[in-house]
Each structure stands twice: as C-alpha cells, then as structure tokens.
Structure 1
Amino acid sequence: MAAFLVRRLLQMFLVTIVAAICSYTLLYISPGGPIDQLLGERQNGGVNRINQDDILRVKQRFELDIYAPVRFSRWLIGWPTGPILGSIGADWTVGCAIPGQVRLRYPDGRTEIVEEGCDQPVTLADLEGRKSSRGVFFLDFGVSQVILRDRPVIDLIGTRLPYTLYLMGGSTLLALVIAVPIGVYSAVKQYSRFDYTMTTIAFVGSSLPSFVFGIFAILIFSVLAKQAGLPYLPSGDAVGIRDYAIPLLGTIEAGSFFDRFLRFLMPCGVLTFISIAGWSRFVRGSMLEVLSQDYVRTARAKGVKESAVVLKHALRNSLIPFITLLAGVLATLFGGALITETVFNWPGLGRLYIDALGRSDYNVANALLLINVVLLLIGILITDILYTIVDPRIRLG
C-alpha cells in the first residue's frame, strides 16, 4: 500500500503541473481578454481615441507585459519577484510593455495601429516593485483582478464556498439515498411497471440539459404558482433582500432560515433529479449484471431469502462499478454546478467561475480550475482505496 501511495502521489503531482500549464495557457490565449474589453468599453462609450497609456495600464494590471513563462512561474511558485543571479537579472528583458502591433477600430470606422516594438522593456528588476503572490503551490492564489479588485482570491473563494457545499452536499446526499434503492429495485423488478416508469423518467432526466429543468422549475413553481395565487418558491438568490408574503405561509422575513430554505429547494431539486436519473440507471445496469451471475443463482437454489440474496450477495458486488462514478463527487462538491447556479443566481463557486471567465479575472478562474483538478485526483485515489474495501480480492501494490 505504501509503494502504491507514493507512486500515485508522484503521478498526481505531475498531472497537476500539466493541468496547470494547460489551463493557464488556454485562459490567456482565449479571445475576449482585458484588452478587447477595454476597446469595447471605450467604443461603446463613444470615446474616439484610446492611447497607449490606457493599454499599458491594463497590461501591467494583468501582467500581460511579461512573457508568459515568467508570468506562469510567478503565479505557480511566486518566482521571480526581483533581480536574480546578479547582473543577469538586471539586464534580462522578460517582456515588453507594448509588444507587437495592436489594431484599434473606432466607431467612425477609422483604424489605428499602435507602434510595435519594445520601447518600454520589462526587466526582472522591474518586477521587484510589483506585488507577487507566494505561488499557488504555497496556497497563495494571488489577488482578484476584477471581481473584488486587490482582494485575495482565497478570501473570495471562502465567501462562496459555504453556499456551494450545502447546495451540492444536500443534492448529492439526497441523490445517493434515492438513486441506489431505485436502481436496485428496478433491477430486481425488471420489466415491471415500476421499472418502465423509472426508466422513462431517467431517460428524460439524462437527455435534457440542467438549464432546461431550471427554467421549467422557475416557470412552474415561481411564475405560474404565484399568478394562480398558490404557494410559490422564490426564483433565485440564496438570501432575500426584503420581506415577502407567500399564500398560506404568511410573511417570510428576508435572511431567515425559512427564507434560505425556500430558495434552496429549487436548485437542490434540479441537481438531485439530474443525479438520480443518471445514477439509478447505472446502479440498475450493474445490479442486473450481478444478478445473472452463477453464485447468485446458487444462493437462490440453496433457499437463501431473496432479501439476503439481493442485499448481501448482489448489492455489494454491484457497487464496485458505481464507486468509479463517485470519483468526481469530491470535485463536484467544491466546484458546484456551473449552469444551475447561474440559472438560479446562486452565489456559489460555479457562478463565481462563470463570472471570472466573463470578466477575465484570470487569477480566480485559474485557482478554481487547479483546485478542481487536485480534488478530482484525490477523489480518484480515494476510489481506488475503496475498491479494496468493497472487494477484498483487489489488492493495491
């Protein structure tokens, strides 16, 4: 076991490095960055000229005037922060304040090309006066560049984490408690009316995207129910900002436990339904395969009670493939549901990631991506260990 853990931890470290490089590179080369946003804001505001100072300030704010390898090193391990290796550090140009050509387009149709070249080279000595995190390897994710400017990313994540944990934790727990019994019973009662009904519901839940269920839930339980004078659920947010009245329930105080519970029901219900649809079908298929095995038929031939055959002999072995499906639960609990949180305006980490991408807050987006990768790798490791508990025949070496 010790050799296995050492080998897996080394593999996890290498995978994390590769994932960090890929995510960091893809975010910075994707279109719609801060320079494009600056041009769009100025043109929409009717400003007919964008000078080089504006572009330079944006580049310095996002460290786009530093070459990508150095910028990535500063983000990952917090180095370099200033001059290194004596005179080499003072003379080594690591970036350009105005690299390449930038073509500006104005509302009146005119175009202008910003002067190319490196008129203002950035050296390692220049980095000494800039703020630099200790690096994500030391759990310092830097500061937010847009959403909460100059606030530590870890503080921003900490404010959103509780909302994601109790939303995803509640929906995952409910889905497990409901999906496993449904899958087992559907397999035992194969081709029964119950099996056909749950199969149809599972196909619907697996086929449609989550935002469809979210929109339908808002229309039915918020809009139509309110118009009909029936008790309704708030359509979004995690906490109300003012008191409101619901038929038969009376006045709901904003920020109270009941207010939070009512707002929790719809996003939790949507996520639970989607998880049940997929997991119940997976458990059913795995259970059907086990029930056809020889040792199950032998147990029945010996006169073992059907409940003991199902629960003791079949269920435990059928859960081995299901454990693989649960490898990503840890990352899901932290990362949240991107679409569902956006539809219901839930202030969790999924919504935070969407906001970070839309507003080019690279430090926040990169931090969330890297944390999810690490949690996914940890989940896979835990899954491998659980295999040995469920099936004693499996040995890790």
Structure 2
Amino acid sequence: MLKFSRNKVVSIVREDQDILVVHGSLDDMIYGVEVDVSVRISDLTLLSVEGKWNRWTTPECPRAVPFLQEAVGFCIEDEDNTQKIHKIIGRKGCRHFATLLIECCDSVEETVKIIRWEDAKESQPDLTFEAFLNGQTEAAPKPGKTPHEDICKTQNQAPPENKETPHIRVQEKPVQRERKPGGVVIDLHTHTFPASPCSSVSEDHLIEEAKRIGLDGICLADHNYIWEANRVEELRQKHGFLVLRGTEITTDQGHILVFGVNNNITPDGDGILSLEVLRERVEKADGFMIAAHPFRGFLVFGVKQLGLTVENAMTRPLFKYVDAVEVMNGKVTEKENEFSSQVAAGLGFPSTGGSDAHEVNEVGIYATQFFDSIKDEKDLLNALKNRNYSPVTFRKGGALT
C-alpha cells in the first residue's frame, strides 16, 4: 500500500503598517524546503524572497536557491503570477520552491483580505466578512493604505477555491506536433498524484489530456513507485488508450527511468539507491535503464565556468550503467537538452524524449517516436532494446529556453 505524507505550513506576521513577513515550509519523506518572503501590503509586491533546503535527493536541488531572487518584484494580484512562478522558479530552479512560494502568495491574499476588511469596519462596524467579500461596502481606505481601486478589485473576487484538489488547466485547441510518418509516439516520462507527491495531476486527467492532444500512449513513471499491472490495465480499458508502466528511481548518480521491472526495486533506508545496485536488479529482470535529464542544473552557471565539455561529461560514471539517454526533457533548458544529446551521440547511446509532466498541460511537450508496433509493455521493452526510435518535439510552446 502506498503511504506518503506531506506538510505545508505558512505563517504570516505583520511587521509594520505596509509590510507582511511570510515563512513557508514544505516537508515530506523525500524533500524539505523553506522560504522567507516579505510583501508590501499596498500593492502586494514581493520585496524579498529567500530559501533554503533541509533535505534533498540530488546535488542540483540546492542550486535552485539563487533563482528565487527572480521572483522579487512579482505582484501577487497579477493574473499570470502563478504561471510566472511555475515558469521561472519551478522550471529554472525547483518545482518544490515554486509550489511553496505559490502557497505563500495565496496565504498573503487571504491575509490582506482580512486586513482590508478590518480597515473597512472602522467606518462600517457591522460589516461582516462575507458582505465585504461580496463588495457590500463603500468605505475608502485611510491615507497611506491600499488604493481604493485595488480594494474594489479584491472585494469583487469570488471566495477562494478549495485548494485540496489541484486545479487542472486543459488547453482547448489541438496542438501541433512534429513527427515523422509512421510509428507511434509515446511520452515515456510522466508523473501523477499521489504516486508522485510532487505532481498535481491525477492519472485520469493525464491520460485524458494525452489522448486529446494526439499522443499514442504514455508511460506512468512515478518516483520510486511501480504501478500494479492490473490497475494499469484498468486504466487502458477505461480510457481506450495505451498506458504503460515505468518508474523514475532516485540513485546516487541521479534519476533513472526504468522499464520492464515488475517487482519492488524502490529505494530503502535514506531513499537513495546505489546506481550499481539498481543495475544489478534491472539486469536480473531483463529490464531497461534510461538516464533522465542527466545534466539538469549543470549548465546554470555556464559551461566555461564549470569547465564542462562534452568529452569530460562522457566520463561520468552514470553512463557505465544505463542503456539510453533522455535528451529531450520538458523540465530542463534547451541548452541542457542539447548538451545531453551531444553526450549521448558521443557515447553511441540511443536517445529518448519525455515531458517529465507534473501538470496536465505539460504532457507531450517532448516524447519518443517508435517505428516498431507497440501494444503492450513487452513490445515497449523490445522496442527500447531494438533502438528503433527517436526523440520528438510534440507539444509546441512548452519547452524551456
């Protein structure tokens, strides 16, 4: 039985008349992060953002901290604030920081509603909070406080949605795709909630969207978790769509996509498995291993600064144990994908693509086109070993730059 717990806690203190100080923490069995944010009440602008890691899985995680500074100046009330945080903090830095920062922003909005209600009550003592939210007040702010137009904007908003269920955004128009004639296109790298607690999309929503945009199939590759075969078969029958199993295993050399393994090979103890041990287990099962986003975060400070070349990158111990390399991943930059492609080519590895989707509108950003017929997991495993495939850009407009 899958068991997992995650706690997100946000505390807010009013430092002075126009400043809120926010502390947020996210803690689960894998990750632990904190953020400290200061916000100006009058215009809901982020004045400072600091963060720290308490627990992480790969060396790239702490490197995400500097990217938090790019959120300074964001306005919480902007319609695209959440989107900007996901794009700039979540993709360039870390999605856990992005999730926590968005939670802090949501909490600030609720706090400011209370502050503005209390201000309005000074001229309307009998004003209820519900009436305030519905705009049933004409009270003007005191000098130095929030402009009247901002108060009206907030008052006219509907009460906040229940955030226990992640909000799903589905594009209405079909997307264009790039694929060669023939074959099938499968997104080999997707995540669902709650199997991957960092995801915000259920397996049903993910499958529905993959089917809608024209993919031929997806692989459920949740973190350190292998789906039961009968449950995946139920999903295939329910949606009339090819659903396959994989898993993304956390190792001491990074994340590895594993296919063709049915038994439990998930990490024990500290949550990180030795890549050598993983290789032994996968070989016993006659499975297949793909290095997932092998250079995520490596190029943040530039190749020259790190002295990283294709030649010395090819000597990473990681590549002694894998069968293929993921060279198109939706959670890294184009530069990092291109670097991965050059390394894979230099080593003679086959290349794959996958969205690494954690949200519904990310599925299919990248995928893998197979030129063999694939109807089940046995076909997939054979096709991977036959090397008759290539990575493709499928869903345009979603890749990082």
Q: Shorter-normalised TM-score: what interval? A: under 0.3
Q: Structure 2 length as normaliser, TM-score?
A: 0.23
Larger strand fraction of residues: 2
Could you say which structure has the larger radius of gyration? 1
